[in-house]
Structure formats: C-alpha cells, structure tokens
Amino acid sequence: MKPYRLLFALCVCLLNGALLCAQDSATPQGRVFVNFVSASHVAVSPGHSVPIQFTFHVQDPYHINSSQPLTEELIPTQLHFSLPGEVALGKMQYPAGKLMSFPFDPSTKLSVYSGDFIVRGVVVAPSVASAGTYTIHGELKYQACDNNACYPPKKLPFTFNVKVGSAGRATQKARPTATSPHIHN
C-alpha cells in the first residue's frame, strides 16, 4: 500500500503546483500593460534638428495615467532617455489625456491614455556631432489601472536609432541655449 500513498502524494503535489502556476499567470503583476510600437526613423545633419514621434499601445482593458494627472497622488506617464553626446532630445510633447470616470468613483474624472498614444519631440545633433548611427535607450514610466484597481508603477525599456550624417533631413537649424536640451528626471 505504501507505493500507492507515495503516488497519491506526488499527484497532489503536482496538482497543487499546477494550480499555483495558473494563479500566478492570471495576476497582472508580470503582465505588460503597454507596448512600444515604434519611433519614427530619424536622420539628422550636424547642427540641425528633426522631429521624432514615439508610438505606444496600452493593452485593453487597461489605461494609464496621462503625463499630467489631475491629482498629485497619481503617477504621471513620463519618458526618460540615455543619450550619447552626439544627440540631444527635447521639446517633448505628450498628448492630452482623455477625461474618464470609473466605477470605483463615478463622480471623479481622471486624465488617462488608452489604446494608442503618440509622444512627439525633437532630435538635435550639435554642429560638432560625428557621423554615425547611434542607439538611444529610452524608458516609459507609467502606472496602469483597470476599472477596479491600479497596479504598481512599471518601466518599459525601448531602443531606437538616430543616424547623424550629411544626408539627414534638416527642419530647423539647432540653436545653442543656456540650458541643456537633454531631458533630466
């Protein structure tokens, strides 16, 4: 009879493990709420600037706080970059959030992003920039929520390339300023 008890205990342990794994995969903790869709292709000549846009997609049924939430307690969506000295990013323009109310407090409107949203900016190559293709590392910081709860803040890393060279599409001559064009947060 002992072998049957051992087999029974082994089956119970395996079944419990399978149930725990199923519960873990059902929780949103490890879930990706937002995807990086794309960054526009950028080629810039030294001493010039060009526009860039970043497209993100918030998974349904979630939303994230906009870059300017309506209350201090809410965590804003923000982009941060690690930049080489040959490239600067500036003039980041986040879209306006959509005002929505949710079942947990129908009388209060929140400023949120859902579905696709685009953040626009400007890439600047200083006049002394060396020609080449540079990989830029970015990070979207956000807090996702559904109709019932908000989840811990997350960071979505992404990369894109900027080509610096004489074949760049210049839109404006870059002007030096007293402040750094880099984004610091």
- The reported pLDDT for the residue numbered 124 is 96
d(CA 11, CA 16): 9
- The reported pLDDT for the residue numbered 166 is 73
Nearest CA to 32 among 54, 69, 62?
Answer: 62
Residue 44: strand pairing partners: 164
Q: Where are the beta strands (DSSP E) in 83-125?
A: 88-93, 98-102, 105-113, 115-125
Three-state DSSP string of 126-155: CCCCCCEEEEEEEEEEECEECCCCECCCEE
d(CA 93, CA 41): 18
What tens digit of pLDDT does each residue of 110-151 get?
A: 999 999 999 999 999 999 999 999 999 999 999 999 988 889
What tens digit of pLDDT does each residue of 65-119 get?
A: 999 999 999 999 999 999 998 999 999 999 999 999 988 888 999 999 999 999 9
d(CA 121, CA 105): 34
Radius of gyration of the chain (CA): 23
Q: Two tokens at 87?
A: 């490239």
d(CA 113, CA 156): 15
d(CA 62, CA 8): 42
- The reported pLDDT for the residue numbered 17 is 36
Q: Where are the domains of the chain?
A: 1-30, 31-173
d(CA 53, CA 123): 10
Tell me the pTM.
Answer: 0.74
Peptide linkage before 51 cis (omega within 30 of 0): no
Nearest CA to 169 among 37, 85, 52?
Answer: 52
d(CA 74, CA 111): 10
- Among the CATH numbers 3.40.718.10, 2.60.40.1250, 2.40.50.140, 2.60.40.10, which is that of 31-173? 2.60.40.1250
